[in-house]
Every structure is written in C-alpha cells, then in structure tokens.
Amino acid sequence: MKKATVHMVSLGCPKNRVDSEVMLGLAVQRGFQVVDDPALAEVIVVNTCGFIDAAKRESIDTILGLAKHKQRGTCKRLVVTGCLVQRYADELAAELPEVDHLLGSGDVMQIGSALDGSATRVAVGDRAGYLLQSTHPRVLSTGPVSAYVKIAEGCDRRCAFCVIPQIRGRHRSRTADDIVAEVQAMAAQGILEVNLVSQDTIGFGRDLGLSPQQALADLVSRVADVPGIRWVRLLYLYPDALDDALLDLLANHPRVVPYVDMPMQHASDEILRRMRRGHTRARLAKTIERLRHRVPSVTIRTAFIVGFPGETERHFQDLCDFVQEFELERVGVFRYSDEEGSASAAFDGKVPRRVSYDRARHLMALQRRISRKLNRRLVGTRVQVLVEGASEEHEYVLEGRHAGQAPDIDGQIWFTDSDVQAGELWEAQVARATDYDLVVRVVGDHPLATSRKRPPGTRRSLPVLNAP
C-alpha cells in the first residue's frame, strides 16, 4: 500500500527545529513518508516562528506560498503549528481559510490528529503543556552527523523585549538521565556532534531544585562521555557567572568544544537596564576576560539588538566600542521591533526604522572586518573538521565545520581534497580564509573518527530515533 506523504517546513530557531523533528517522527510512526518536495506531499506542515516582525512575515509568506499546493489538488491538508499560532490562533484562523488545522507551541504531541484530519481546526492548548522526552520519535533534519538536543523548555526571565515566556511558558528542565538516553540513541545512529540548546541553558536544573551551573556541568560531562559522541557544544548561555566546573570542561575535556554562545544584546549600561537584562557592561567584560583566561582557545558567539527604544548615537557608539575592544569571534545583529505584549512595546524613545537599519549595517561591517582578521590568523594552523556533506553553494565541493563553527549560524569549511566523505572527522590545515569561511586540506591518511552509520554525502539524511 502506498504511504501517505508529509512535508515539513521548520522556521525560526533550533529549538523550534527539534519540535519539527518530533512531529515528523510522530508522522513516521503513523505510517507517513517524509518528502522533501512539497509538490509530492498530501499533508504539509509549517512550524512557525513568532518572535520578531521579520519572523512573523516569513511565516505568513511561507504559509501562503505552500497553500498553492492545495489549489493544485496535490495537498489535502495544510497544518500550521508553533509560536505564531500560540500567539495569534484566532487571527490566523480568520485570515487564513486555506489552513485546515492550527496547533500551538505546546501541542507537538497532537500532530497525529491533525495529520489524519480528526483534530478540531483550532487546537491550541497549554503553552507549557509539552516537554521533550527521550522516548519521543524524531526525524533528524540537521545533516548526517550533527543534531540539536533540547535540554529545557520555556523561560523565567523577564527581558523587556521578549515574549518567549508568554509563548512557551515557564522554564522546565528535562532530567539528565532522559537527556543522556536521547544522546545515546543519537550516537547509535551515527551522530558525532550534539548541540545542547534551550532558551536559558545556564538555568538548567533550577526548577528541579538543583544548583543550576553545577547541574549543567554534570550534564555536559555525562553527555560528552557517551561512546561515539565527539563534539558537545553549548548554545544560549545567559551571561551569568560561569561555574568553574563548566569552564574546566570547556578548557580540558577532549569532547566538549571550547565554544560559548552567549547573547549579550547590548553593551551600554543604560540600554541594558532598559532591556532588563540584569547585568552591566563591566560584567560582560569580566565574563569575556574570564572565559578567555580560563579557556584560551574559546570561540565566543553573541547577538546584539540595535534600535532599542531610547538608544541614542552615544549608546550605539558604546556598543561599537565594545565590539572593537573585545573582537568577539562570532556576532549576530538584530534590529529591534515592538512585540505585542512585551514591556518595551510601551517604551518611549522609538528609534526610526531607517536609523536602526543603518546601525545594523554599520555594526555588521565592523564585525566583518574583525572576522576577516581572526580568520586570516588561522591560515597555516591545524583544526579538526567535521565533514557534513555536499556544499549547497559550490558544486562538486564537500563542506564541513571546525569546532569553532556552530551549525546553521556560523561560517563553513570547504575541502580541497576529494576523498573525504560525509560523516568523517579529519585533522586539516587551513589553506585560505575569507571573511567568514575557510578552505582546508586534510592532514594524514585516515580520519580521526567515522560515523558508525556513515551516510551518503548529502545534508538530507533523515534517521529516525525511537520509531519502529
């Protein structure tokens, strides 16, 4: 019997991607076949992001674009899920008659009834009604050898610009045992790299009555000791004081990569106060200096918001000065937008859109020069490189990443050698550098590690965890 087909589009952050992978796993359990081409799908699912204006527009445009497949008679059901639905379910139901089912961010496990058409049209439940478990099936979509592991859900912080607590609920940590069980299943599928994510990773275990930073260090140590795992990466660490045990792991554990993703958002004390971030420029500087002292090889990634209400030219210059002084390895820049329900939406001192656009361009140009300088310093050095598969930008070229490059958000590495294969970890020498990317040649005749189930040289390998 021919299987029903499903196509998934996942928008927004890696945490949302994990939810999408669970929904695909549930679809596979129900007998659906996952297809890459929406034109071949009987059911199309769009997992939306509703965090900022640009993400909302992308979500709506994606929904409308995919709805055309219903008009052509290919798609029988269009299902929309995620954060945008959690915030605006009634509005979406009224304005998008093309959509058959709407599920909120906490309704991941209800996807089955939407797939078979038995769900009510709007089925948005408790925003805090879901927490990933290792027994949930997942179809990994991040490539052949790398995966995200969501260690907690929700957030307890009250940043003025953010509505995540309203969308996802309060911070809820998984147990360490459950997380380790999921990583063990991934390692059995050939995954070499796991990226630990949550909205507030540094707060892991707080809601379970544990000391958060010690709990995180213990978790990272256990995950890194899972046989088969070669890289463990930490994403979304709030700039709190980092525990010595965690710093020791970053500096010394051979499988914990010295990489810290720490969104700082700004570097002007006045703007940080208005943002309700709970820290100052001095504390950010101290955190960076401590990281670099304790972990000399560390790569620090951060994100900044420009155009926040009340940001003057002086405040923006403070931010630029900070970026120039500390020369952070990875920087992302976002333009502020009012979010309904956020505290900052009611703030005065709105910055004109054109001004925020110019500031974002200026800051990214500044960071590009820093990135180019830091990358050029790597020429001639040796790095370990995880081969991910065929490049999407350069035909006949394989690409990968070194430990200082996180998936999806950082630069890439291209190989001059043609005999490397996806799923291998090689030592390589940097031959050339661009602003964000590197070209390498491998060193030695054999890889340092090979995936237990080495996939073909493609990004679209979709192993299923825990599904029969």
Q: How far from chain centre, in Å, is Cα 12? A: 8
Which residues pair with residue 43 across a beta bridge? 6, 77
- Please tell me the predicted confidence (pLDDT) of residue 245: 93
pLDDT tens, position by position, 246-293: 999 999 999 999 999 999 999 999 999 999 999 999 999 999 999 999
Q: Which helix (H) or strand (E) holds 94?
A: helix 83-95
Sign of the alpha-carbon dihedral angle for 425, 429, 431, 437: positive
- Between 281-294 and 313-326, two packed helices, what is the crossing angle to 10 degrees? 10
The tally of CA atoms less than 13 A away on the side-chain side of residue 272 is 19
pLDDT tens, position by position, 25-45: 999 999 999 999 999 999 999
**CA angle, corner 442, sides to 441 and 446, nearest 5?**
165
Q: How far from chain centre, in Å, is Cα 378? A: 26
d(CA 219, CA 461): 28
Q: How far from chain centre, in Å, is Cα 304? A: 16
pLDDT along the chain (468 residues), means of 10: 88 92 95 93 92 81 91 88 91 92 93 92 87 94 89 94 91 97 94 95 92 90 96 92 91 97 97 96 96 96 98 98 98 94 95 97 98 97 92 79 94 85 92 94 88 48 41
pTM of this prediction exceeds 0.75: yes
Shortest CA distance to 77 belongs to which of 87, 85, 66?
Answer: 66
What domains sit in the chain, N to C, each tagged with a CATH number? 5-129 (3.40.50.12160), 138-377 (3.80.30.20), 382-450 (2.40.50.140)
- Please tell me the predicted confidence (pLDDT) of residue 1: 64
- Please tell me the predicted confidence (pLDDT) of residue 466: 47
Please provide the DSSP assignment of 265-286 as one string: B---HHHHHHHT-S--HHHHHH
436: Cβ contacts below 8 Å, ≥ 6 apart? 368, 371, 375, 410, 411, 412
- Please tell me the predicted confidence (pLDDT) of residue 452: 64
Which residues pair with residue 401 across a beta bridge? 386
Report residue 450: phi and psi, to 5°. -135, 135
d(CA 267, CA 265): 7
d(CA 366, CA 10): 31
d(CA 90, CA 94): 6
H-type alpha helices, 13-104: 14-29, 53-71, 83-95
- Please tell me the predicted confidence (pLDDT) of residue 387: 92
If one counts every other C-beta atom within 10 angstroms of the C-beta of residue 355, the result is 16
Polymer length of the chain: 468
Pairing of strands 424-433, 382-390: antiparallel
- Please tell me the predicted confidence (pLDDT) of residue 201: 94
pLDDT tens, position by position, 136-156: 999 998 877 899 999 999 999
Q: How far from chain centre, in Å, is Cα 322? A: 25
- Please tell me the predicted confidence (pLDDT) of residue 418: 67
Residue pair 173/128 in contact (Cβ under 8 Å)? The answer is no
Residue pair 52/308 in contact (Cβ under 8 Å)? The answer is no
